[in-house]
Amino acid sequence: MSRPTDPAQPGFDARRFKAMERAGFNRIAARYAEGAHLRAELAEALLEAAALAPGQRVLDLASGPGLLAGQAALRVAPGGSVLATDIAEGMLAEGARRCGEHADAPCFAAADAEQLCLADASMDRVLAGLALFIFPHPERALAEMHRVLMPGGRVALSVWGVRESVPLIHRAQDTIARLLPPPKVSRPSVFRYGEAEVLSATLAAAGFDDIDIRPCTFSCHFADAEAYWQAFLDLAGGAAEALGRLPEPIQADLRAAVADDLADHRCDDGRGGFLVPALTLVASARRPG
């Protein structure tokens, strides 16, 4: 079992990192929501793992535009409630706009997952889709999830698998690594919880038990390499922010070069374009009670 990469490496500045993520996810908020259908299977797997039922109080942590929150709200009605929180207010505004104002719609509120303004034991379920690896201090976010859950309550979360199993992300990263100089301070890897043993040990260390981890694989079809590149930018807030600050000719070089890295994923079922897979892990675990 390998250990997750420690983001506390020399030069790593958690505040700056969070600011960059927040700016990036604000930048892509609307497009992130539009691209969510590509990951519908994953959202469904996570909602199933959460075992939602009418009357439950649910926190959707690092909710983005509240795609999980919106679905969860339907499953906990009548009598339940869903709170969607995120560090990027643009994501929350997008979610509030999409979910509308009906009685069972989720509430949206800004919050850093590592420091929640919520009472102890105030939630029956916590959802955290594709988020744990983004936090500079994931152990703090897990401690907060544990704190706000009722004894016996459950967390359900998803993370990317190990790097080689997620061409959806790593092909774009390969292009970036080929064309750009290495960053002065490396970002924590988004694949750092990709081994089930690592994720399980991390959840156990945070005080959770009854841990269940299942793989969820899905593939995304792109009409061409440019569509793939755009989808990558629409998913990865921090990367979108960093790359969006580069001069336009360099951005154009990256867009053009990614086709070489996608060569192994040509779609041969008659649709043309590229079919790019991703392995994720969906975990559910209980706060003992």
Ligand X SMILES: C[S@@+](CC[C@H](N)C(=O)[O-])C[C@H]1O[C@@H](n2cnc3c(N)ncnc32)[C@H](O)[C@@H]1O
Contact positions vs ligand X (CB under 6 A): 18, 21, 25, 62-64, 67-68, 86-88, 91, 112-114, 129-131, 134-135, 237
Q: Of 129 and 153, which has the nearer Cβ to ligand X?
A: 129
Pick between residue 139 and residue 224 the one whose CB is nearest to ligand X: 139
Shortest separation between residue 81's beta carbon and ligand X, angstroms: 18
Q: How far apart are the first and last CA of the chain?
A: 29
Question: Residue 84 or residue 285: which is nearer to ligand X going by CB?
Answer: 84
Q: How far is the CB of 181 from ligand X (least distance, A)?
A: 25
Rounded distance between C-alpha atoms, residue 168 and residue 137, angstroms? 25
Of the two residues 242 and 269, which places its CB atom closer to ligand X in the complex? 242
Task: CB nearer to ligand X: give 35 or 207.
Answer: 35
Q: For residue 221, what are the contacts with CB-CB under 8 A and spacing of at least 6?
A: 267, 271, 273, 274, 275
Please list the alpha-helical segments (H only) found in 161-224: 167-179, 196-205
DSSP labels, 142-179: HHHHHHHEEEEEEEEEEEE--GGG-HHHHHHHHHHHHH
Tell the smallest beta-carbon distance from residue 111 to ligand X (Å).
Answer: 6
Q: Are 198 and 138 in contact (CB under 8 A)?
A: no
Q: Give the nearest distance from C-beta 133 to ligand X in angstroms.
A: 9
Nearer to ligand X, 25 or 208 (CB): 25
- Rank residues 112 and 264 by Cβ distance to ligand X and give the closer one: 112
Q: How far is the CB of 251 from ligand X (least distance, A)?
A: 21
Give min distance, CB of 166 to ligand X, in A.
13
Which amino acid is located at 207 in the chain? G
Tell me the Cα Rg of the chain.
Answer: 19
Taking CB positions, which residue lies at the least distance from ligand X? 129
Structure tokens given for 191: 């694949």
In the complex, the smallest distance separating the C-beta of residue 190 from ligand X, rounded to whole angstroms, is 9
Give the β-pairing of 149-160 and 107-110: unpaired
Find out whether 44 and 72 touch, Cβ atoms under 8 Å.
Answer: no
Taking the C-alpha atoms of residue 196 and residue 58, their distance in angstroms, rounded to an integer, is: 25
